[in-house]
């Protein structure tokens, strides 16, 4: 299974370098941790990378009960 993840991470490398870096780092970190610790690590990474304008839009749409309009990447 780990080989399949590494193949996927390498394929993503050609699409977006940041994505590959994150995938590889998370895979390496998850080797020596429990599932719960691995999920916490991924959640921390995702929170750190989340764009502030997207976060504001997500909160506003939740409060106003409308569909979000996120910026193009």
Q: Render pLDDT for 7-23 as a digit per residue (tens, 0 to 9).
A: 777 765 555 555 556 67
- Please indicate whether residue 70 or residue 12 has the higher confidence score (pLDDT): 70
Phi, psi of 6 (to 5 degrees): -65, -40
- 17 falls within a domain: yes
> Domain count of the chain?
1
- pTM equals 0.41
Query: Do 38 and 29 meet the contact criterion of CB atoms below 8 Å apart?
Result: yes
Contacts for 45 with CB less than 8 Å, ≥ 6 apart: 22, 25, 26
Question: What residues make up the domain containing 12?
Answer: 2-64
- 71 falls within a domain: no
Q: DSSP for 30-61? A: HTTS-HHHHHHHHHHHHHHHS-HHHHHHHHHH
DSSP state of 16: -
- What pLDDT is recorded for position 70? 79
């Amino acid at each position: 299974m780990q080989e399949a993840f590494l193949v996927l991470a390498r394929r993503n490398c050609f699409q977006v370098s940041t994505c590959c870096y994150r995938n590889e780092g998370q895979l390496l970190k998850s080797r020596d941790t429990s599932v719960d610790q691995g999920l916490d690590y991924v959640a921390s990474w995702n929170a750190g990378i989340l764009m502030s304008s997207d976060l504001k839009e997500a909160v506003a749409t939740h409060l106003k009960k409308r569909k979000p309009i996120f910026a193009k990447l």
